[in-house]
Structure 1
Amino acid sequence: MRAEKRWVVKPAGDAQKVAHLSRCLSIDRPLANLLFQRGVTTPEEANDFFNPQLENLLDPFLMQDMLTAVERIDRAVRREERIMIYGDYDVDGISAVSLLYNFLIKWSKELLFYIPDRYAEGYGISERGIDYAYDNGVKLIITLDCGIKANTKVKYAKERNIDFIICDHHLPGDKLPPAVAVLDPKRSDCQYPFKDLSGCGVGFKLIQAYAQYKELPFSYVEEGLDLVAISIASDIVPIIGENRILAHYGLRKLNTNPNKGLGAIIKMCGLEHHRIAIDDIIFKIGPRINAAGRMEIEIDYDDPRAQSGGRTAVRLLTAPTPERALYYVRRIDEFNKDRKSIDRNITQEAHNFIAGREEFRNTKSTVIYNPNWMKGVVGIVASRLIETYFRPTVVLTLSNGMVTGSARSVPGFDLYQAVESCSDLLENFGGHTYAAGLTMRPENLDEFRRRFEKFVVDNINPEETIQYVEIDMELDLNEITPSFRQTLTRFEPFGPGNPSPIFLTREAVDNGTARLVGAKNEHLKMELLQPKESRYSTISAIAFSQTSHYEHVRGNGAIDVCYTVVDNNFQGMISPQLRVKDVRPSEQGE
């Protein structure tokens, strides 16, 4: 059912202005054009873009309630009140809890952290978590990456004389929770200029503010930048504005002096001699942090009997010694191997389910349910299904007697609005434009499926139903020179708002060594060149899950190929590699 992708080439920038930018910056014209396409049109703007500065971080006290939050934390520290840091069980929440814990442990020994059990408690603040805080004498709970709609739970805590500070980045409801302070740049009354911080990013602004309030050196705050970069990459927030600064310096720390837990993950992934980029976080580091929360067992170095979920990942990221970090990372890597096997099997079951039912051939959305699927991997499965069917997708399972799961969207379609339109059928939901989580009673499933599909049909634009590749510009292979690659790295970090540029090369051929690679020969490996060039050399290319053109390529057939340029690190040797997005035989044109 995989449809052919539509190729859309962006218009080039003004030729004279691009040439001027190229001369002023002494960079290749295609890269000057790339800057122009991204709204960077002057040498001064290019300097800011290429050289993010920490001094350009925004004043954290611009965020509504920040001073109140800092004063309450300071009072808790001075009075030696017990503080509990509470976060979501995904990478953003786990990194945020670890960030704040690593910072506050320097000033307070009365510190606990709490990650809710994905299976027993579900998303957000739970009464069980509040009861745990009460039983342990906690007077202040600081939430990260959750809590913005937890009105009844915060009220429940207040009845037990527990204060709340909420740090979140999701959209608030009509009424804010009755917390001491609510830090969320998406509050309608919040004047903070940058609205797209990650949950960990909001936590970073809190420690930045505390450090300023206590006149502490900024070095205490910088220590957490690697965790902020992990959250920015994994939560897929726009890497523009303040996020670009945080990600830039977070990646620098990740590559030079990561915290002990992240250092252990880097070694486990074989990245210690590799220049770590956003993709490495998304595909290697982040999934390992996520794995502990997705599986159903918790590991405690001091108490092997401990049972729960994502707290193991926090123990890794707050490990005080390399020995403890190594202990946790080995166990988490086992979780990740199990997780990959489970999500691979469930994805195949989902494909089989869709292929076997006629009704899915004409729908604009996919809503599937299996009570036996593992709750912790349904979000991954939803993302995989979109890669094939390219339509808003909801994957549901049964947990604690409730139908629960994850939803994912296609570019341009507001998934959150679609889920919100069914809110009267839901017990709980949350998320943003492209991803959401939801829970409902089993008897509401059929009506939810019907109404979700109707909302998609009524609101999705036809172009949003056709998968496409947005191409920045055409390029000849001989233009990918060492200087081109060096300048291209200065565009990083890549992500939403500043995506890795996609180039198009026409009439390329393989040098005769094309082969299928991967455990199941599911990927196409090529060495490409352009015979039309008077001077040419081959360049390595990898096309993941794109084997349909193998025979054409092996037969020396010319292809048009669109791709990103990445570094291929093999046995310590770094060379350019094309990561192929799509391939077409040249004679088909566009």
Structure 2
Amino acid sequence: MEWILASTEQPPESFIAAVKEYTRGSSGNYAAQILWQRGIREPEQLTNFINSQVYKPANPGDFGQEMQLAVVRLQQARESGEKVAIWGDFDADGITSTAVLWDGLGQFFVQHLQLSYYIPNRFTESHGLNCAGIDRLAEQGCKLIVTCDTGSTNISEILYAQKLGIDVIVTDHHTLPPERPPAIAIINPRYLPNHHPLYHLSGVAVAYKLVEGLYQYLPDVPRQPLEDLLDLVAVGLIADLVQLSGDCRYLAQVGIQRLQSDYLQPPTLRRRPGLGRLLELCQRSGDRPTDISFGLGPRINAVSRIQGDASFCVELLTSRDQNHVKQLAESAELANTRRKSLQKDVAQQVSNKLKQMDLSTTSVIVLEDSQWAVGVLGLVAGQVAQETGKPTILLSTEPGETANPLARGSARSVSDIDLYQLVQGQAHLLHRFGGHPFAAGLSLPVENIPLFTEAINQQLRQSLGGKNLIPKVTADLLVTVADLGKELFNELKLLEPCGMGNPVPKLLLRNCRFTNAWHRNQEDLRGKKVQYIKTDFDLGDDSTNSTFPGVWWGHYKDELPPGRCDCIVELDYNSFKKRYEVRLIDVAPGADNPLTTVNLAQNLWDFRLNPLGEDLPQPEQSLLLEECPTSWEDLRAWLRRSQQEQKTLVLAWQTPGITAPEGIWRTLVGIAKYLSRTQQPVTRTQLLAKLNISNQSLIIGLKALRHLGFSFQRQDRLLFIHYQASSISPTAEAAITEFLTAIREEQFQREYFTQVPLKTIAAILK
């Protein structure tokens, strides 16, 4: 896995002071640095990001005519006493979406009499509308279906419903087909501009916006506050793969507050006793987004993964019957422990298949097996994608004797690869397909799998243009064990809720060690061992005599390296054990050696973080690289040279001094004006040394100078500069911005090549 250390550009003191206003009792430096890295740099941005009370959420009316059509059709159904059915989905976003509409529309329609809901079976129906389910609703006299978290691609099914006299309102967030589905209304944020604050809403948040529209249209009807739905919205938002920015972040913030305030009530007074019981079972308190992503979300998802039918989860989230929801919550807990065991078993089988593949020639991993449980394939595909850096599709095939057998499975993506567009390119080979850029479900005839695998790999190779896919993890901060604890945790908590676009901060620790490691199997509610491993450990380094506790999920203690190492972790608070701890993300052994060697086709020695000493190879045996590269191609060129000369390549560049890009630009303009005034010549080498930038950046800088009225005359290797203020180009600002961007990218690459682990360099240069 390739490690990247995020830019360490120091924020202005004024910004740090503004952040400190929110951190109480700490310096605010760490939080300010990450916020600055992530583009939160203005006071208004900072306030809106942190304080949900001042954020102004978008109006449901922003969905335009589609929202109006949906509200009017629901009003018609209410006035005429029509039966309305909510068509949901079986994952956490779909279940919470259904629960939001069940409680929300339940303010306008009589539940069970006029309002019902339908959750497809994961094993027998899969995602989306289907004709058999529509038939059942028609038999019950349903005249209007409101989908949630699904329906955007179900064109034929919507037409089928219309033939039966059933109208359809679609609320969804998945990628839209080229043709608009023939529904009464389609409330999908994908129709909005991608910069709109509603664009990244998940299914549950879209459902909430529909209810909010009804509350505005019929304000005198509801008896319960709209805000009572926000805890469900937070659960679905955080459990799904959506970017937590704009209204998504706001809804998650206020929803978590609602979730925690309800949990703090005595069990008999909770509005949602089912959620409260789930939190008790996963030993969490509901005040953190991780309580959802690692606690509530997996348990809701596990029901359909293990049982297929997840309908009872809607009751679990909405019923006020204490005894009933307790039983339902414990059923979800048992399903989750079985899911863990099943997931580990399938992951091991997938790992065995991967060992037989040549991953160097594979762009998209496509694997199949008739024994794999469909319910956990998405989870395992996500693991494989993260570990290999490659989009992964896992399929479960029907028995060979079945007529026209189908394979069904899940796909997960990495980096910036749009999985939906990638798979859609092979739509002619598929039976069904739906999802969004990072996750999708699909089915296809078994006989098409070889052709699909070859075609999708060729398609991605062409789009990548020879670029290698390498698993990456970005560390936000370089810290020590002494830094870990309450103060740092409270600073980083300022960034919550975290998710897509605002990931959980990752911390890099260098030259540390693991002690007191031990692993054990998990147990279910009945004390039965589950084949799912967790390793506990203590982490130490030279910054303190104390150690810090941590956990590594899904790994054995023997996988921890002996001696000194580097690692990337996430800082957390364990509300059950009442302690701060770290979650281990990745580890690289060997950091205790001042000299690390890797056996490639030649020796590669690393002196980047150590002074050159007596251990340095003799000059006639080594090639010293003291200038920090700015690309892998630069490094490969030095490697080829060392191979040709049969010498050891010594990486000896030090941490680069960073000058603000604007300062470099001012220096370049000052040099140009001085040389124009004095008519002294300059060489390219002199300019590069003075500015400490690459040749490519210098070319862009000279181009920008031309837009300001400078011209250049070359004589041999000398450059004469002339200036004419009257010839400033109207595109000068854009040219300057291009130069500043190039400098920032170059500085980022230099910082990266200073910090990237040697094992990553070795792996990429093979």
What letter matches 1:12 in structure 2? E
Alpha carbons of structure 1 residues 569 and 332: separation in structure 2 relative to 1, 3 Å:
closer
| 2:150 corresponds to which of 146, 149, 161 | 146
Give 1:516 deviation, angstroms. 2.5
Residues 270-349 of structure 1: pairs in structure 2 closer than 5 A: 270-271=283-284, 274-296=285-307, 309-349=309-349
Query: Do the aligned residues in 2 keep the contact of 1:514 with 1:550 (CA within 8 Å)?
Result: no
Which deviations, in whole Å up to 9, do the C-alpha atoms of 1:84-125 show, x marking residues without a partner? 000122111111011110122233111110011222222210
Partner of 1:300: none
Which deviations, in whole Å up to 9, do the C-alpha atoms of 1:321-349 show, x marking residues without a partner? 11221122222333323333322222222
Q: 2:501 and 2:195 mapped to 1: Cα distance?
A: 22
| 1:176 corresponds to which of 180, 183, 186 | 180
Structure 2, unpaired ranges of 5+: 264-271, 522-530, 597-608, 610-756, 758-766
Residues 563-582 of structure 1: pairs in structure 2 closer than 5 A: 563-571=569-577, 573=578, 575-582=579-586
TM-score, with normalisation over the residues of structure 2?
0.69
Q: 1:213 and 1:190 mapped to 2: Cα distance?
A: 27
Give 1:196 deviation, angstroms. 0.5
Q: 1:39 and 1:166 mapped to 2: Cα distance?
A: 34
SS class of match (2:256):
helix
Q: 2:197 and 2:28 mapped to 1: Cα distance?
A: 34
Partner of 2:393: 394
RMSD, matched Cα: 2.6
Give 1:369 deviation, angstroms. 1.1
Partner of 2:78: 77
Alpha carbons of structure 1 residues 189 and 152: separation in structure 2 relative to 1, 3 Å:
farther
Partner of 1:506: 510
Partner of 1:268: 281
Query: Do the aligned residues in 2 keep the contact of 1:142 with 1:166 (CA within 8 Å)?
Result: yes
Aligned length: 563
Partner of 2:244: 239
Give 1:168 deviation, angstroms. 0.8
What letter matches 2:291 in structure 1? D
Q: 1:58 and 1:167 mapped to 2: Cα distance?
A: 17
- 2:155 pairs with 1:129: no
Alpha carbons of structure 1 residues 346 and 537: separation in structure 2 relative to 1, 3 Å:
closer
Q: 2:481 and 2:570 mapped to 1: Cα distance?
A: 12
| 1:229 corresponds to which of 234, 243, 249 | 234
Query: Do the aligned residues in 1 keep the contact of 2:426 with 2:456 (CA within 8 Å)?
Result: yes
Give 1:550 deviation, angstroms. 3.9
Which deviations, in whole Å up to 9, do the C-alpha atoms of 1:33-63 show, x marking residues without a partner? 2221122223333222221138611100110
Query: Do the aligned residues in 2 keep the contact of 1:278 with 1:493 (CA within 8 Å)?
Result: yes
Structure 1, unpaired ranges of 5+: 298-308
Partner of 2:735: none
Residues 186-585 of structure 1: pairs in structure 2 closer than 5 A: 186-187=190-191, 193-215=197-219, 220-257=225-262, 259-271=272-284, 274-296=285-307, 309-355=309-355, 357-360=356-359, 362-398=361-397, 401-460=405-464, 465-480=469-484, 482-509=486-513, 513-519=515-521, 524-531=535-542, 533=543, 537-544=546-553, 545=555, 547=557, 550=560, 552=562, 557-571=563-577, 573=578, 575-584=579-588, 585=590
Higher Rg? 2
| 2:118 corresponds to which of 114, 117, 122 | 114
Give 1:192 deviation, angstroms. 5.7
Partner of 2:7: 10
- The 10-residue stretch of structure 1 (521-530 or 62-71) with the greater mean CA deviation from structure 2: 521-530
Give 1:435 deviation, angstroms. 1.0
Query: Do the aligned residues in 1 keep the contact of 2:498 with 2:504 (CA within 8 Å)?
Result: yes
Query: Do the aligned residues in 2 keep the contact of 1:516 with 1:522 (CA within 8 Å)?
Result: no
Q: 2:104 and 2:126 mapped to 1: Cα distance?
A: 27
Give 1:150 deviation, angstroms. 1.3
Query: Do the aligned residues in 2 keep the contact of 1:522 with 1:547 (CA within 8 Å)?
Result: no
Q: 1:340 and 1:382 mapped to 2: Cα distance?
A: 14
Give 1:219 deviation, angstroms. 5.9
Q: 2:215 and 2:382 mapped to 1: Cα distance?
A: 39
Q: 1:54 and 1:14 mapped to 2: Cα distance?
A: 24
Give 1:576 deviation, angstroms. 2.3
Instruction: Indicate the percent of aligned positions where both proteins have the same amino acid.
Output: 29
Give 1:126 deviation, angstroms. 0.4
Which deviations, in whole Å up to 9, do the C-alpha atoms of 1:111-158 show, x marking residues without a partner? 110011222222210001111111000111000011111111111111
SS class of match (1:256):
helix
Which deviations, in whole Å up to 9, do the C-alpha atoms of 1:390-427 show, x marking residues without a partner? 31111111358311111111222221121011111112
Alpha carbons of structure 1 residues 543 and 339: separation in structure 2 relative to 1, 3 Å:
closer
Q: 2:352 and 2:176 mapped to 1: Cα distance?
A: 38
Q: 1:241 and 1:196 mapped to 2: Cα distance?
A: 8
Query: Do the aligned residues in 1 keep the contact of 2:31 with 2:495 (CA within 8 Å)?
Result: no
What letter matches 1:408 in structure 2? R
SS class of match (2:575):
strand
Give 1:447 deviation, angstroms. 0.6
Give 1:378 deviation, angstroms. 1.5
- 2:106 pairs with 1:105: yes
What letter matches 2:122 in structure 1? R
| 1:155 corresponds to which of 152, 159, 168 | 159
Partner of 2:748: none
SS class of match (1:94):
helix
Query: Do the aligned residues in 2 keep the contact of 1:144 with 1:199 (CA within 8 Å)?
Result: yes
Give 1:186 deviation, angstroms. 0.6
Q: 1:570 and 1:161 mapped to 2: Cα distance?
A: 53
